[in-house]
Chain A
Amino acid sequence: MKKSYILGFVLMVAATLSLGSYSAALGNSELLHFWIAVPAGNITSPIVVRGAGPPISMSPIVVDLQSRGVLKNLLQPQLEGLSTHWIYNIGKKPVKIRLSLTNLPPDITVDWDVNSGFGYDEATHTFTSMLNPGSSIPNLGIDWIFHIPAYYLDEPVIYRGGLEVIDADTNTVLTFIPIEFVNGAVSNDTSGGGSCH
């Protein structure tokens, strides 16, 4: 077999592995994907929550904008995203899920891009169907796109708040995931995911 064929093969394997490695590096800083379980309380450290359904890894989210890719920092530094495809009910009773981002500065706006197998009220960020124990919201995709004004980009802490997952019937906070956007801080292991599945 010609050397060029082996070389072509090996080069493509290496290129693909490099892309995979780069993907891992970007996974914690660009469009970070995370899992949500309810009820899980206040997530103050990395934890695996167990209950009805599969065990779910969760942790506080810290996005270090300095860790983003060159292309992102060069072309679109003022937009950052978070995403989830998984909201599981690990509790014992059905709940109606409402979501809320807390402590947002007025000049950081967030676009909510939500698609799901449940009905969804855009105004209140509430899913209209009950989520049964052991189940997840089917075909879920939520992207939160944060528009960060340029003057925030040099701040050590750009956003410190979190995502509240609320029982819409009782207004009880079932799960709170702290979210921080920082600049150059040492990131914790934040994602528990990093890819779409």
Chain B
Amino acid sequence: MSLRAKETLVKNRWRYIAFVAGFFLFVAPFALLTRAVYFLVGNTAEPTLHSVCFRMPIDWIFGGRFYSIFGSSWFMAAFVFTVIISSIFFGAVFCGWLCPVGAVSEALSRAVPIPKRFRIRIRDTTLTVSMRYGFLVGFIIIAFLVGYKLASDQFGSICCRYCSSSVLQNFASALFEDPSAVGYWHSGSIITLLFWLLIGGLMFSGGRGWCLFFCPLGALSGLAHKIGGRLGFYRVEHNKGICTGCNRCQSLCPMWAIKNDHTVERTLCVNCKECIHACDAYKLVRGKSIEDN
């Protein structure tokens, strides 16, 4: 391990520990958070990562299935709303610190030493944002068309058919419980595996391809963070005065959120603090901006 990699590991240790905690909190056979909630409400189902689906409540809302939010899947909906609302105040910290799907692909990207020149990265943050919200709009259109039965023969929901949570849960179940959990694959899960881990994880710089381009919860959390940042809640800011222009921040940011002028694109930023730990020009601030101070 290079000296710089070691330094990154040490400086960001709390986030990497949080990755592990996120795995134990949400992924079966542990799923400690979900298990605790199920225990409190007397639900005897065995919780899995699906019990806190990051997509279905969003699909229900845009598909007009509000009743599902208040049905037996209320915990899913409560979880998703909590993630989005908390992003206003603290940034998309669930994405950056706890989400096991993003953590696994990012960890894989960091662990496998592929030369940088073979890794894909879009340097133009506006293009990344355009693509990210293009996906969200497509997701909403499908939820609407399927939910209101306007084109339910032509479109199927992409929630379950392309589910990275399902693929991750199957791997975890195979590892800790029953190897046959990874026995069955359908075309959607194969496509998901390819894009989430192989392309989005290994080939995309930072390993967050899935988070950037295929996660509606991440996209909505990014919007919430943008609003929160404007209102003065926690956000990462760049201090031009002490920037040396080395561009290390850009290459370190797993979410490609550092613009070419080194300011932060908040719809992408997950407050992971990698840039803060790498460079003094970045600070997590609340209230007045660095320039105002």
Task: Name A residues whose Cβ lies closer than 8 Å to a Cβ of B.
Answer: 2, 4-6, 8-17, 19-27, 30-31, 33, 68-72, 75-76, 79, 81, 111, 115-119, 136, 138-139, 141, 143, 145, 194-197
Inside 8 A of A2's CB, which chain B residues have their CB? 126
Distance (Å) between the CB of B220 and the closest chain A CB?
15
Inside 8 A of A11's CB, which chain B residues have their CB? 131, 134
Docked pose: A81 CA to B183 CA in angstroms: 11
Of B155-163, B197-205, B222-230, which stretch is located at the interface? B155-163
Distance (Å) between the CB of A111 and the closest chain B CB?
7
Query: Contact: A79 with B131, CB < 8 Å?
Result: no
Asked if B257 CB lies within 8 Å of chain A CBs, one says no
Who on chain B is nearest to A191 by CB? B156
12 of the cross-chain contacts (CB-CB < 8 Å) are: A4-B127, A12-B131, A19-B191, A20-B146, A22-B187, A23-B188, A71-B191, A79-B184, A119-B44, A145-B183, A145-B184, A197-B65
Interface residues on B, range: 35 or more
Inside 8 A of B213's CB, which chain A residues have their CB? 12
Inside 8 A of A4's CB, which chain B residues have their CB? 124, 127
Inside 8 A of A145's CB, which chain B residues have their CB? 183-184
Asked if B186 CB lies within 8 Å of chain A CBs, one says yes
Given contacts A17-B142, A23-B155, contact A197 B68 (CB under 8 A): yes
Given contacts A21-B155, A23-B158, A195-B157, contact A79 B183 (CB under 8 A): yes
Who on chain B is nearest to A30 by CB? B186
SS class of chain B's interface: helix, strand, loop or mixed? helix
**Residue in A19, A25, A71, A196 whose beta carbon sits within 8 Å of that of B160 in the complex:** A196
Query: Contact: B139 with A16, CB < 8 Å?
Result: yes
**Residue in B51, B127, B135, B162 whose beta carbon sits within 8 Å of that of A139 in the complex:** B51
Docked pose: A13 CA to B72 CA in angstroms: 32
Interface centre among A23, A79, A116 (most CB of B within 10 A): A23
Inside 8 A of B133's CB, which chain A residues have their CB? 9, 12
Query: Contact: A17 with B138, CB < 8 Å?
Result: yes
Distance (Å) between the CB of B105 and the closest chain A CB?
18
Distance (Å) between the CB of A190 and the closest chain B CB?
12
Inside 8 A of A20's CB, which chain B residues have their CB? 138, 142, 146, 155-158
**Residue in B56, B139, B154 whose beta carbon sits within 8 Å of that of A197 in the complex:** B56
Query: Contact: B126 with A118, CB < 8 Å?
Result: no
Docked pose: A13 CA to B138 CA in angstroms: 5
Q: Mark B48-89, 1 if CB is under 8 A from A, else 0.
A: 101100001001100001001000110000000000000000
Docked pose: A51 CA to B155 CA in angstroms: 29
Query: Contact: B158 with A139, CB < 8 Å?
Result: no
